[in-house]
Amino acid sequence: MIYLDYAATTPVDERVLAKMMPYFRENYGNPSSIHRLGQKAEAAVDEAREKVASVLGCRADEIVFTSGGSEADNLALRGAMLANKESTKWILTAKTEHPAVSKTAIQLEKEYGFLLEWLDVDEHGAVTVDSLAKAVCNNTTMASVMYANNEIGTINPIANLAEVAKANNIFFHTDAVQAAAYLDVNVNKLGVDLMSLGGHKFYGPKGVGALYVRKGTKLVPHLTGGSQEFSLRAGTHNVPYIVGFAEALRLAVDEREARTAHVKPMRDHIIGTVLETISDSKLTGHPEQRLPNHASFVFKDVDGNLLLQLLDAAGFACSSGSACKTGNPEPSEVITALGYSRDWALGSLRITLGADTTPEHVDSFLKTLPSLIKKTRNLNHR
């Protein structure tokens, strides 16, 4: 099987796994325990927090460990909105966001009575400075804009957007889950108040993430109980996963240039070849301001789900934006937000590369894809 779905998840790096292993059986103490096994575990969590803070350029007490990016997004949005409910009302975000943000925003409107405004995106799915500046009003609490889009790879101008937020005295959150593998996540350069990360997108374990919370940003805890994570997230620390997350993030930063240099030429080759050799194909997302490992397309009159099944049968793991809902394929919110009609929007394909991808894998994929597109079109026209 040739794996071309690194935006969905990545295998755990062996070096990360080696760091995690002792905390499953040897140093298995609860960090909240007083005895030395507990102290050893606590020291591991503290060290991991320092490691993450040094990557982000922030204080260790500004890092909250979570069960992943989705939980970090939930804590950021719900936590900030509920903490400020007396003074302000509006939340601003885009329909191109990950559902962990967009569905949380919808719930805040529906169940808690907050006001939600969707930010306009340009033809590449980017939120512009103008669209944010236009949407902000005196009663706005926060804006949430992702750093890089998981589905179409577009990178948003986060530092510029955060400046607009700061000038208007509102909180700015970015979901950097997809971005952290390849982009600079220094919070001072970005100017964000809140930032979500997830370990399994950069060769760390699944089920662990972090939320950066700038000092002075008030949040209502969303998991109550013990005083772990500065009383923002109760629950016994998942020590091996936290250790693995921190090590994976450190490696992602240390090796960023080499990893980018590995994937970018292959990504460019895929984009160029697909657009040249397959009729009625379009690149989705920004042609330049996109993740270095990310290629995504729409194909006219193609059933994206069927294409994925055919690719899977041919030995390739890729993904599509359209989710199959009760037998009726629906185009994704992201592709629809770009303005594609249904005959285009249903035929989305995402190819994402990673550490184990080789030029041979890419060539094999590019040889196989055109005939499978043709096959789905023929089946579509029956």
What crossing angle do the helices spanning 256-277 and 239-254 adopt, rounded to 10°?
Answer: 70
The verdict on whether 324 is a catalytic residue reads yes
pLDDT value for 321:
67
Domain boundaries, the chain: 14-254, 256-380
To which CATH superfamily is domain 256-380 assigned?
Answer: Aspartate Aminotransferase, domain 1 (3.90.1150.10)
Q: What is the CA 231 to chain-centroid distance, rounded?
A: 25
pLDDT value for 379:
87
Q: How many residues does the chain have?
A: 382
Residue 218 burial (C-beta neighbours within 10 Å; 0-12, 13-18, 19+): exposed
d(C-alpha 151, C-alpha 320), whole Å: 8
pLDDT value for 87:
82
DSSP reduced 3-state for 208: coil
User: Which residues neighbour 173 within 8 Å (Cβ) at sequence distance 6 or greater?
Assistant: 73, 76, 77, 80, 142, 143, 144, 145, 192, 193, 194, 195, 196
Write down the pTM of the prediction: 0.96
Going across the sheet that includes 63-66, the strands are 63-66, 209-213, 194-198, 171-175, 140-144, 90-93, 115-118
Of the candidates 94, 109, 81, 215, the one whose C-alpha atom is nearest the C-alpha of residue 154 is 94
User: In the CATH hierarchy, which fold is given to the domain comprising 14-254?
Assistant: Aspartate Aminotransferase; domain 2 (3.40.640)
pLDDT value for 328:
62
User: Which residues neighbour 61 within 8 Å (Cβ) at sequence distance 6 or greater?
Assistant: 215, 230
Per CATH, 14-254 and 256-380 having the same topology is answered no
- CB atoms closer than 10 angstroms to residue 235: 14
> Kind of pairing, strands 140-144 and 90-93?
parallel
d(C-alpha 298, C-alpha 77), whole Å: 31
* From 58, 137, 318, 324, active-site residue: 324
Query: pLDDT per position in the chain (382 positions), as tens?
Result: 999 999 999 999 999 999 999 999 999 999 999 999 999 999 999 999 999 999 999 999 999 999 999 999 999 999 999 999 988 899 999 999 999 999 999 999 999 999 999 999 999 999 999 999 999 998 999 999 999 999 999 999 999 999 999 999 999 999 999 999 999 999 999 999 999 999 999 999 999 999 999 999 999 998 999 999 999 999 999 999 999 999 999 999 999 999 999 999 999 999 999 999 999 999 999 999 999 999 999 999 999 999 999 999 999 999 986 554 445 678 889 999 999 999 999 999 999 999 999 999 999 999 999 999 999 999 877 6
Of the candidates 372, 271, 250, the one whose C-alpha atom is nearest the C-alpha of residue 315 is 372
